[in-house]
Amino acid sequence: LPSTLVTARHVAARLASTAARPARAMLRVAMEEVRVAKLTARPGMDPEGWGSAGLASVPVEAVADEAAAQAWLLAPDTISAADSDAEYFENGWEERGEPVIVQDACSSWPAMEHDAWMPAVLAARFEGASFECGEAPEEEASALVTIESFWEYCQFQQDDDPLYLFDGTFESSAPELEEEYSAPSLFRNDLLALLCEGTDDPDARPPWRWLLVGPTRSGSFPHVDPLGTSAWNASVHGRKWWVLFAPGTPEDFIKAGIVDAGGEPGRDAPHGAAAASSAAEELASAAKGDKDSEAHAPDGTPSASRWFIRVLPKIRAAVHAAQSGDLPGAPAWLREARVFEFIQEEGATVFVPSGWHHAVLNVSPGATVAVTQNFASPTNLPVVLAALEKEHPEMALALRAKLSKRTTESAP
């Protein structure tokens, strides 16, 4: 039977099985799994450090709603998938390198029917299946946790930076999920998919899709997607707080809220020498991953929640002051900065253009569930090919051959 027709059966069966097990025993099992996953993902983090900043007391969803409601903020255009086609999207946003929010792009997915991807339902449907969470140190095994234990953790955690289920091989743990969503038609021109033609090798192309299950306050620190790819992110359950920075925005401003003159510190820095000195100290601290950096956890790991709560208000204030004329001497890049801040509602899909820094925070109670894919299109292909040639030369060679063959076969 289709998975959406057996959802209720899975939940009923799980409720029956859990009723026979003491709740405390189940919680003990879940917390032990999570403890091991935390040690794997963040071996340098003291157990007490996970909640040392007390960010669990911050009502992040209310803070996000209040912040994003400010009328002066930039937000992406919103279009309807039902009223748009690939050509309209490419001409209107992709070719200009502009983010956009797409409504109804995933409304017909089986994942959206009968709450099939609601966290509690996923825990019931795939009980015993393990998924990747966190980021293990290089060359070490990924942190794994069963979906039911992770859901228990999501409901009770008080961590500043909770573990984030971010699995790029979810089809091996839960193959049914692969059949319950598909790339929205606006984004189906994925040229990297050519690398998978004629092979079953999952590593024929770079990592490209992920299942995301994130408890409140989990998220992604500001970053640019790899290899010059663009991305789409569809929220199946829950809400996300987004910030995007147009290419050319200084990275130290993005990551630490530092306003420097863009080449001449002190002369154009709007807050004078004292602020410039303070900014330099913060930048050095951030670069080292110092525990004293506002945007880093005690073990030096970049912290999405700290960035949203502590650094983003500085960024927002600096941009608003510079662009409203209240910051004499503000550097030109700040007066012209394009920073988008908004809430992604459940069922919405966000398009992130190639080269845009972006940060995301999950703000819904319990957990937010999403799926995301990175892709190469004719618009960003030159950038992707250049990046592939540096990092994966054999893939670049194979892709050029596939593109050449496709061009030859389509010629009249």
Q: What is the pLDDT of residues 160-194, one digit of tens each?
A: 999 999 999 999 999 999 999 999 999 988 999 99
Give the residue from 408, 353, 406 showing the smallest Cα distance to 398: 406
> What value does the mean pLDDT of the chain take?
88
Convert 150-159 to b/e letters by CB count within 10 Å (16 or more is b): bbbbbeebeb
Burial category of 368 from C-beta neighbours within 10 Å (exposed 0-12, middle 13-18, buried 19 and up): buried
**Residue found by looking up tokens 């794994």 in the block:** 144
> What is the per-residue pLDDT across 67-78, written as a single tens digit (0 to 9) for each?
999 999 999 999
Selected residue with higher pLDDT from 282 and 242: 242
- What's the distance, CA 157 to chain centroid? 20
Cα gap 2→44, rounded to integer Å: 44
Helix (H) / strand (E) containing 31: helix 23-41
**With a threshold of 0.75, does the pTM exceed it?**
yes
pLDDT band, very low/low/confident/very high, at 127 (cuts 50, 70, 90): very high
Q: How many other C-beta atoms can be found within 10 angstroms of the C-beta atom of residue 8?
A: 13
The rounded distance, in Å, linking the Cα atoms of 309 and 303 is 10
With beta carbons less than 8 A apart as the criterion, state whether 344 and 242 touch: yes
Q: Find tokens 């500001």 and name the residue.
A: 222
Predicted confidence at residue 341, as pLDDT, reads: 98
Mean pLDDT of 363-390: 97
One-letter amino acid of 74: L
Name the least confident of 47-51, 61-65, 101-105, 290-294. Answer: 290-294
As a whole number of Å, the CA-based R_g of the chain is: 22
- Measured CA to CA, the distance from residue 208 to residue 230 in angstroms comes to 10
Residue 363 pLDDT > 90, yes or no?
yes
How many angstroms separate the most distant Cα atoms in the chain?
A: 70
With a pLDDT cut of 90, the percent of the chain lying above it is 78
**Cα(150)–Cα(144) distance, integer angstroms:** 10
Q: Is residue 291 over pLDDT 60?
A: no
Nearest one of 42, 62, 73 to 303, comparing CA atoms:
42
The lowest-confidence range among 13-17, 153-157, 340-344, 381-385 is 13-17
Mean pLDDT across 50-66: 97
Of 265 and 347, the structure prediction assigns the larger pLDDT to 347
Q: What is the mean pLDDT of residues 328-336?
A: 94
pLDDT at 7: 55
DSSP assignments along 264-309, one per residue: STTTS-TTHHHHHHHHHHHHHHHHHT-TTSTTB-TTS-B-HHHIII
- Per-residue model confidence (pLDDT) at position 265: 31
Structure tokens at 132: 């990747």
219-278 per-position pLDDT tens digit: 999 999 999 999 999 999 999 999 999 999 999 999 999 886 443 333 333 433 333 334
What's the whole-number mean pLDDT along residues 333-344? 97
| 403 three-state secondary structure | helix
Sheet holding 219-223, edge to edge: 219-223, 357-362, 240-245, 339-344
Cβ-contact 160, 54 below 8 angstroms = yes
For the chain, percent of residues with pLDDT exceeding 70? 84
**Predicted confidence (pLDDT) per residue in 303-325, tens digit:** 999 999 999 999 999 999 999 99
> Does position 399 have pLDDT exceeding 50, yes or no?
yes
- Find out whether 175 and 145 touch, Cβ atoms under 8 Å: no
